[in-house]
Amino acid sequence: MVAVLLQALGASLTPALAIALSPFPVIGVVVVVTGTHGRRNGPAFALGWLLGLGAATALAVALLSGAADAESTTATVVDVARVVTGAVLVVLGVRTWLRRDGHGPKEPPAWMASLATASPGGALRAGLLLGGANPKNLVLASAAVAAVVETGVQGTALGLAVGVFVLLASSTVLAAVAVGLVGGASGAAALDRTRALMVTHSTALTAAVLVLIGANVLGGGLDGLGR
């Protein structure tokens, strides 16, 4: 069981890192943590994020659980969908890179900047939406679940593997909240530098994440079709 579980965790590592390194959630949580009532709103945002991403991942498990049998129709449909989705992600990543604007620093969208003064409920809703309603997260969670299911892991081990995936994908959000709670002034300064870096290079980071995960999803789909 341990070997299968480790294989499942390894299969979901790339999608988890792709979510964790995506610019928008990192920028969003830093804005919340360094804003008004950040010590209260940061945990609310993180809770919303965990609930949203957890719900998206649970939905993927419900839809893709039939892919464990490589000979099933569900598995074939899932693999074809992975090939198409992976190819689309790679194309979008290349397109994003080619259209990037290198003319100086950028500012986050107005709605994201407003998170600095959000209420705890607003921070919770923002985390919920960024974690669960982000199309990229839905694709990445589905890719992770498909890869995990194909390893043959089931039952408690499947739940554990999915839970670890959600935690790994949430690592940057949770780390930012922790720094905001215990880091003091130096922690706030480090978070501000991180936010500025992410804002400035958000397009390049997004392009890199899209290409990385697109290639991973495409390769997984081709591997599944070849079995």
Query: 68: which 2 tokens?
Result: 């464990």
| Most confidently predicted of 80-84, 126-130, 223-227 | 126-130
Does residue 126 have a pLDDT over 80? yes
Looking at residue 107, its pLDDT comes to 63
**Higher local confidence (pLDDT), 53 or 227:** 53
Q: 71-80: per-residue pLDDT in tens?
A: 667 677 778 8
184 vs 7: CA distance, rounded Å = 39
Does residue 105 have a pLDDT over 60? no
Determine the Cα angle at 125 with ends 208 and 117, to 5°.
Answer: 90
Consecutive H or E run containing 117: none
Task: Give 44-94 as a DSSP string.
Answer: HHHHHHHHHHHHHHHHHHHHHGGGGSTTSHHHHHHHHHHHHHHHHHHHHHH
Mean pLDDT of 160-179: 94
Looking at residue 139, its pLDDT comes to 86
What are the boundaries of each domain within the chain?
A: 2-225
Query: 196: which 2 tokens?
Result: 């500025």
Looking at residue 72, its pLDDT comes to 66
Does residue 217 have a pLDDT over 70? yes
Q: 137-166: per-residue pLDDT in tens?
A: 988 898 888 888 887 788 888 889 999 999
Q: 43-69: per-residue pLDDT in tens?
A: 999 999 999 999 999 999 988 876 655
